[in-house]
């Protein structure tokens, strides 16, 4: 039997009232932040949230500050009606979909570069009631944001941390679930919560993959059939490197070279391949403690990220 359709809330004040009413009833609130165009990976996060919370909020918000000037935000896949149907298929369902139109006033920069107005989502209205010259406050997690994706996308995690902090302030969840596919993002949010004393438990959920190993991502829709087949080289190379490390190969340079070579031979363009400490995200030269191999690579128009943990 399909679950009931979730309530759609677009106003931040209404969202706060709902959360506070639930807390007054003794409910534990779980939040799953998303940018929509949901897939089984997102639904797995909701299943994890059900283990820890009584009521579930899924936010659907395409964050303009996560797009660089070379990316067209208007082309990011969006299907709110389809997302609602998928949410109704989850055991236990979802109580609320928080679907604000805008959470940050970019002022004069609003329509420049990757920051563009979206008109195609259903049920979206502005959350901005005061327009005093635009917003100018940002949240930075200074060291963790520097490497990996931060090298080629220097403002990306500023946008992530700021919008997630706003979601935490609006929804006021007790627990929030993030996918570990976005490993750096997950660690940045964990550090932000610790440093700024948010009363939120942040949980990292394991990567969900297609049957052939490709990490589930909304961006996979950009892949042609041929590119998708070639993109399997990412997970295959990561798995091979992990097995090599577990068999005693602890030289990170050699492991990274094997990953890069495999992806490039398949036709991919590697943005980075790094082996870093699981908590500090600092690069290591030799595996002596738990690490994670993180990769970002382009196949056609799709920039794909993936990772695999090595616990030694």
Does residue 193 carry a pLDDT above 90? yes
* 91 touches 4 (CB < 8 A): no
Q: What is the chain's mean pLDDT, rounded?
A: 92
Alpha-carbon distances of 158 from 72, 106, 119, 167, rounded to whole Å? 19, 14, 24, 14
Least confident residue range of 79-88, 106-115, 151-160: 106-115
pLDDT at residue number 312: 82
This prediction has a pTM of 0.91
Backbone CA torsion sign across 6, 23, 180, 117: positive
Residue from 39, 42, 50, 243 carrying the catalytic annotation: 42
Does residue 57 carry a pLDDT above 60? yes
Mean local confidence (pLDDT), 195-216: 98
Does residue 21 carry a pLDDT above 80? yes
Alpha-carbon distances of 88 from 11, 36, 135, 229, rounded to whole Å? 22, 14, 35, 31
Does residue 108 carry a pLDDT above 70? no
Establish whether 50 is a catalytic residue: no
Q: How far apart are CA 284 and CA 264, in angstroms?
A: 23
* 58 touches 72 (CB < 8 A): no
pLDDT at residue number 127: 53
Domains annotated on the chain, with CATH: 7-205 (3.40.50.620), 218-310 (3.30.1300.10)
Does residue 125 carry a pLDDT above 70? no
Mean local confidence (pLDDT), 116-128: 43
Does residue 287 carry a pLDDT above 90? yes
pLDDT at residue number 213: 97
């Amino acid at each position: 039997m399909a679950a009931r359709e979730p309530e759609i809330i677009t106003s931040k004040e209404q969202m706060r009232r709902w959360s506070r009413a639930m807390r007054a009833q003794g409910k534990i609130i779980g939040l799953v932040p998303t940018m929509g165009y949901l897939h089984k990976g997102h639904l797995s996060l909701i299943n994890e949230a059900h283990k820890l919370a009584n009521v579930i909020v899924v936010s659907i918000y395409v964050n303009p500050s996560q797009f660089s000037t070379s990316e067209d935000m208007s082309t990011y896949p969006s299907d709110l009606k389809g997302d609602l149907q998928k949410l109704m298929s989850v055991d236990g369902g979802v109580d609320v979909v928080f679907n604000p139109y805008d959470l940050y006033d970019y002022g004069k920069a609003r329509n420049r570069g990757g920051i563009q107005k979206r008109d195609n989502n259903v049920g979206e209205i502005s959350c901005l009631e005061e327009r005093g010259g635009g917003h100018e406050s940002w949240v930075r997690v200074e060291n963790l944001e520097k490497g990996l994706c931060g090298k080629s996308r220097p403002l990306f995690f500023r946008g992530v941390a700021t919008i997630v902090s706003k979601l935490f302030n609006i929804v006021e969840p007790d627990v929030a679930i993030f996918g570990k596919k976005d490993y750096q993002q997950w660690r940045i949010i964990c550090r932000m919560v610790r440093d700024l004393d948010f009363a939120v438990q942040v949980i990292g959920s394991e990567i969900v993959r297609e049957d052939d190993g490709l990490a589930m991502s909304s961006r996979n829709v950009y892949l042609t059939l041929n590119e998708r087949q070639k993109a399997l080289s990412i997970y295959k190379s990561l798995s091979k490197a992990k097995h090599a490390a577990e068999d005693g190969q602890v030289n990170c340079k050699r492991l990274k070279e094997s990953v890069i070579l495999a992806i490039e031979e398949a036709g991919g363009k590697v943005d980075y391949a790094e082996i870093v400490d699981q908590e500090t995200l600092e690069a290591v030269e030799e595996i002596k403690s738990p690490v994670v191999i993180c990769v970002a690579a382009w196949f056609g128009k799709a920039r794909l990220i993936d990772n695999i943990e090595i616990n030694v």
